[in-house]
């Protein structure tokens, strides 16, 4: 069991028959009245985000999320195939369960497949990936008065904003959580 006073970002628990994960939390102690925990949480199955306040002594059963290392193999229509690194078993996962950060995953990359009681609800790519720039406009010399950026298409098809000195064929490091350029690889 976990109490609302113990909430931290990323904590998963069961509430009203659903599995939810804390996205943001704030302990509030007003001048008068009882303290409470203002929380923003996400239903891990549906992806719905809800804001709610809790009494710090409210108790909830802890939900244990299974994170399994798998290798992304290939795409076939709306199904994406992953291989278990231990048993070599292949499982298909629907496009609706992948999330926006999957745009930075290329074939043969290792990811974590998230499941709860055997039901897959998401795929978590590595925090940082190195990808090649396949298309970008050349930077204009002298256009560097500020931190100027330009759009670039990566080998996975994802688009990111990069500094003007990045050219086609360059390898860059991208943060998959924010979708931002980090550095040259």
Q: What pLDDT does residue 59 have? A: 92
Q: Where are the domains of the chain?
A: 2-60, 66-124, 129-184
**Residue 122: count of CB within 10 angstroms of its CB:** 20
Question: For the segment 5-54, what is each residue's pLDDT rounded down to a tens digit?
Answer: 888 887 889 888 888 888 888 988 888 888 899 999 988 877 788 999 99
Question: For the segment 73-103, what is each residue's pLDDT rounded down to a tens digit?
Answer: 999 988 999 999 889 899 998 888 887 888 8
- pLDDT > 90? residue 67: no
Q: What pLDDT does residue 160 have? A: 92
pTM for this entry: 0.71
- Fold of the domain built from segment(s) 2-60: SH3 type barrels. (2.30.30)
Tell me whether the CATH fold assigned to 2-60 matches the one assigned to 129-184: no
- pLDDT > 90? residue 141: no
Q: What pLDDT does residue 49 have? A: 87
CATH number of 66-124: 2.40.50.140
Mean of per-residue pLDDT scores for the chain: 87
Confidence bin at 124 (pLDDT 50/70/90)? confident
Q: Give 65: exposed, middle or buried? Use CB within 10 Å, 0-12, 13-18, 19+.
A: middle
Query: Under a CB-based contact definition with an 8 Å cutoff, are residues 23 and 51 in contact?
Result: no
Domain 129-184 top-level CATH class? mainly beta
**What DSSP state is assigned to residue 138?**
P
Residue 165's SS3 state is coil
């Amino acid at each position: 069991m976990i109490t609302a006073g113990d909430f931290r970002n990323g904590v998963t628990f069961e509430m009203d028959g659903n599995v939810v994960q804390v996205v943001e939390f704030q302990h509030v102690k007003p001048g008068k009245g009882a303290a409470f925990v203002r929380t923003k949480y996400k239903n891990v199955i549906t992806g719905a985000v809800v804001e709610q306040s809790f009494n710090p002594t409210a108790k909830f059963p802890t939900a244990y999320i299974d994170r399994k290392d798998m290798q992304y193999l290939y795409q076939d229509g709306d199904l994406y195939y992953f291989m278990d690194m231990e048993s070599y078993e292949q499982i298909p996962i629907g496009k609706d369960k992948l999330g926006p950060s999957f745009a930075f995953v290329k074939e043969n990359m290792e990811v974590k497949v998230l499941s709860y009681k055997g039901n897959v609800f998401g795929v978590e790519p590595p925090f940082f990936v190195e990808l090649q720039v396949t298309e970008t406009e050349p930077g204009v010399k002298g256009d560097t008065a500020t931190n100027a950026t330009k759009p670039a298409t990566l080998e996975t098809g994802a688009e990111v904003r990069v500094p003007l000195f990045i050219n086609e064929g360059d390898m860059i490091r991208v943060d998959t959580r924010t979708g931002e350029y980090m550095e040259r690889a």
